[in-house]
Structure 1
């Protein structure tokens, strides 16, 4: 009994130390210019059996389970933070990249894998499918806080959030072809449309249901609202998976619906899921680092094959897929070059590489090691240079405003009121107006203004400036009216605009 208690305490201690190490590495990653995901993997490799030997872990099934749960939470958080107004203009290019782009990448990498790994064509296409999609965890983590042009950032985020189902479908299909004596190809094609169609439907339906439920239910503790929202993410994935639809697509779509609705305790839900997604990201990449044995990975045979396939993926397969998938869809040459370079691989390929291992596919261990090496080089090389490449191509946008959140944003359930946060854009109609001249609904109160990281105590004579962050106490019935008022754009004088254009020309 004492020995069992010691083992549990030892396990809890290790989890605590790993999470602390993961959080600290995010600080070092910023200074070193290296994506934190790489450092999480290295932490796992360091404490594993081939490193310091603290943890022996070689269970692919457990790694797959942890990876899928973590991906659900990460996709949910990413979808919550994604604005539909940014995604809508790039929806078709993103879907093209998520479907046609994955197929093209898979095909090109497959022919390279056939020659380099000396495997059958079906096995080569399996390898191509595993590394064919970009990774939501890697893309969301690397782009967070970067001043990449919104159009490009939204394209990459929407692509990474929707291309996992295609990669999962292709991976499972090629495994079935390898293991089945007489595979039914028509069934596989029908299964694809079932997965995508019903995954989309379930995501939309449960996203709407979750939004209504969160706003209608009156819970005793505000801390239960984020848990309630997260429960819908897990429920969405499980229902979709239960009927054979794409659970990952359903979760991302549901999160988009929820995140773009007005929610009670909105900021609490967002902040909770942001922190939980970071925790799962740390846990997932550390576990995947534990699963690999450096002694097997860093062998010359794996190194040169992995490097060659990484180069082909980054410099040949991904660019060709991007240029074809976005043909005549409103992207310039420089933008397509950037999209090609920003196609990060991460946890999804590693998790998918466990599928052949569990199914007992020949060469599955070779695939896992090479995939791991490809992901490591992709994240390290591409992830650490995304901002630099965007800057060189002239594709950086205005510096992102990151609110200090010095005020706790709350919903006051008993009083039927909320404190909301609003970022004032430069073309807003209220810019230059004093608070006393703005026709706010009765009972609305501007509690604080954050201006250039400084707190401004508002009075009636305070003038609103661009990039101000307003904290507003408002009743729920007037919340929409206040938001509409603040979002109203300045009217453009056509004659003045024509004059300015003639003057500049």
Structure 2
């Protein structure tokens, strides 16, 4: 009989373990996703035996919902100014790169796993894309050059549709005798184009709704934003377009717009994305049986395929799909190494299981092993490699301070959080010399984690975090002043 109290107790225990493991992961240099998976494997039926879980349908459901939330949070945090210059290489990696990776891995899978060509290409499709959850988690807080980080994040946010399309297509080719290849190709363009358009539409709609609606509680704004993410995915997927692409595009639009309760929306989704990431990887860890995973055949097959994927397929895909796109050899080496595999391949590996394919369990176990090796080998060494190749930038400034107006919905005012860079026109100036709008006032300055009370003769320094109270009418003018660069000043 299902015991609700036992389930709640165990769920809380797993969540606490997942949160604590993030602390250990940064200290020992192991990606958190590996520890989440380990927690699931340890408490599963082959470990301590607390939970027996073999429901691929439920794992797929949780995995897809978690990916939607993780992609939404990743899109919110992505700045359009850094993504715009790398749109072309990112999309090339997300399409051409995935196709090349799939083809090379398929040849290896045909020889190593001794399966049919369609099954080999299916395996290549499953592991062909990088994983947004893994990439966002590894790059968060790292001082890797913005162009490289943005390329990897945009690629991982947009390459899932290609992998999903290839996976579903080859499952159909294996299970259904009569398939129209032309319709399958047209289906791909339908998924990409409609997914992009719906993402743009719902991003604009969500931004308008969040800013116009007057909710009684500030805590409802993050929930409202998240509801739009789920709605975007649901409606897009309902018409057989790419829901994941639509969610990421919508999040880009929302995250780069002026939002009511922006800070609350971002922080809520960051915490919720972490929770879903923990839940997803723990459940995927529960789904695998270590006694089946760590067999000689799976280990050898997984090791060979992982090495081919990491050292041959991914580098070839990167070097070919980024020809004449402004990346030097060191940057291409880094992009090759940072092509992390994570939740997406594992979730996709449940598709053949649900379809009842003959070799689905073998595929799942080998894919799982490939993901573990990718996370351990690549995930632990990305910051080190970036440093060795000289591809790091200045340390990222991540504000850890919360300051929010009680009710923006009912007051004609907002508090703006702004991080001062060396090139900003206000840097090295006294507050009294900065021509802010009459309704704007600098309320607080955070400098090296210390609160500085602003006065007229206070000098603004690089790295300062300013909290500025302004009316809604003055907000556009204020942001224009804050974003001015010093070269504009000399030009005048």
TM-score by length of 1: 0.96
* CA distance, structure 2, for counterparts of residue 374 and residue 405 of structure 1: 39
1:442 equivalent among 420, 429, 438: 438
The alpha carbon displacement at 1:411 in A equals: 5.2
The alpha carbon displacement at 1:407 in A equals: 3.1
Map Cα deviations across residues 414-452 of structure 1 (whole Å, 9 max, x no partner). Answer: 221111100011111111111111111112121111112
More divergent stretch after superposition (90-99 vs 11-20): 11-20
2:31 equivalent among 7, 30, 35: 35
**Do residues 413 (structure 1) and 416 (structure 2) align?**
no
> For 1:144-155, what aligned pairs fall within 5 Å after superposition?
144-155=140-151
2:379 equivalent among 369, 372, 383: 383
Q: What secondary structure sits across from 2:141 in the alignment?
A: coil
Identify the residue that residue 354 of structure 2 maps to in structure 1. Answer: 358
Is contact 1:425-1:467 (8 Å) kept? yes
Is contact 2:112-2:301 (8 Å) kept? yes
Q: What secondary structure sits across from 1:446 in the alignment?
A: strand
Identify the residue that residue 180 of structure 1 maps to in structure 2. Answer: 176
Identify the residue that residue 277 of structure 1 maps to in structure 2. Answer: 273
The alpha carbon displacement at 1:492 in A equals: 6.8
Identify the residue that residue 461 of structure 2 maps to in structure 1. Answer: 465
* CA distance, structure 2, for counterparts of residue 309 and residue 89 of structure 1: 33
Identify the residue that residue 342 of structure 1 maps to in structure 2. Answer: 338
Map Cα deviations across residues 272-301 of structure 1 (whole Å, 9 max, x no partner). Answer: 000000000000000000000000000111
The alpha carbon displacement at 1:404 in A equals: 2.0
**Do residues 453 (structure 1) and 449 (structure 2) align?**
yes
Identify the residue that residue 325 of structure 1 maps to in structure 2. Answer: 321
> For 1:63-82, what aligned pairs fall within 5 Å after superposition?
63-82=59-78
1:222 equivalent among 204, 207, 218: 218
Q: What secondary structure sits across from 2:466 in the alignment?
A: strand
* CA distance, structure 2, for counterparts of residue 173 and residue 120 of structure 1: 15
Is contact 1:268-1:409 (8 Å) kept? no
Is contact 1:152-1:339 (8 Å) kept? yes
Identify the residue that residue 476 of structure 1 maps to in structure 2. Answer: 472
Change (3 A) 1:428 1:344: same
**Do residues 394 (structure 1) and 390 (structure 2) align?**
yes
Identify the residue that residue 248 of structure 2 maps to in structure 1. Answer: 252
> For 1:32-111, what aligned pairs fall within 5 Å after superposition?
32-111=28-107
Map Cα deviations across residues 368-398 of structure 1 (whole Å, 9 max, x no partner). Answer: 0000000000011100100000001000010
Q: What secondary structure sits across from 2:379 in the alignment?
A: coil
Q: What secondary structure sits across from 1:464 in the alignment?
A: coil
Structure 1 vs Structure 2 CA RMSD:
1.2
Map Cα deviations across residues 449-469 of structure 1 (whole Å, 9 max, x no partner). Answer: 111221111111101111111
The alpha carbon displacement at 1:493 in A equals: 9.1
* CA distance, structure 2, for counterparts of residue 125 and residue 494 of structure 1: 58
Identify the residue that residue 307 of structure 1 maps to in structure 2. Answer: 303
Is contact 1:410-1:418 (8 Å) kept? no
* CA distance, structure 2, for counterparts of residue 69 and residue 161 of structure 1: 15
* CA distance, structure 1, for counterparts of residue 195 and residue 408 of structure 2: 35
The alpha carbon displacement at 1:413 in A equals: 2.4
2:13 equivalent among 17, 23, 48: 17
* CA distance, structure 2, for counterparts of residue 137 and residue 459 of structure 1: 43
Is contact 2:439-2:474 (8 Å) kept? no
More divergent stretch after superposition (406-415 vs 16-25): 406-415
The alpha carbon displacement at 1:412 in A equals: 2.5
Identify the residue that residue 399 of structure 2 maps to in structure 1. Answer: 403
* CA distance, structure 2, for counterparts of residue 110 and residue 72 of structure 1: 28
**Do residues 429 (structure 1) and 441 (structure 2) align?**
no
Q: What secondary structure sits across from 2:468 in the alignment?
A: strand
* CA distance, structure 2, for counterparts of residue 490 and residue 82 of structure 1: 25
Is contact 1:265-1:411 (8 Å) kept? no
Q: What secondary structure sits across from 1:381 in the alignment?
A: helix
Identify the residue that residue 121 of structure 2 maps to in structure 1. Answer: 125
Change (3 A) 1:352 1:409: farther
Identify the residue that residue 290 of structure 2 maps to in structure 1. Answer: 294
* CA distance, structure 2, for counterparts of residue 407 and residue 481 of structure 1: 21
Identify the residue that residue 189 of structure 1 maps to in structure 2. Answer: 185
Is contact 2:94-2:156 (8 Å) kept? yes
* CA distance, structure 2, for counterparts of residue 437 and residue 492 of structure 1: 17
**Do residues 239 (structure 1) and 235 (structure 2) align?**
yes
* CA distance, structure 1, for counterparts of residue 450 and residue 223 of structure 2: 33
Where in structure 2 are there 5+ consecutive unaligned residues?
Answer: none
* CA distance, structure 1, for counterparts of residue 298 and residue 158 of structure 2: 30
Is contact 2:260-2:408 (8 Å) kept? no
Identify the residue that residue 138 of structure 2 maps to in structure 1. Answer: 142
Where in structure 1 are there 5+ consecutive unaligned residues?
Answer: 496-505
Is contact 1:265-1:410 (8 Å) kept? no
Change (3 A) 1:410 1:177: farther
* CA distance, structure 2, for counterparts of residue 138 and residue 452 of structure 1: 30
Change (3 A) 1:118 1:204: same
TM-score by length of 2: 0.98
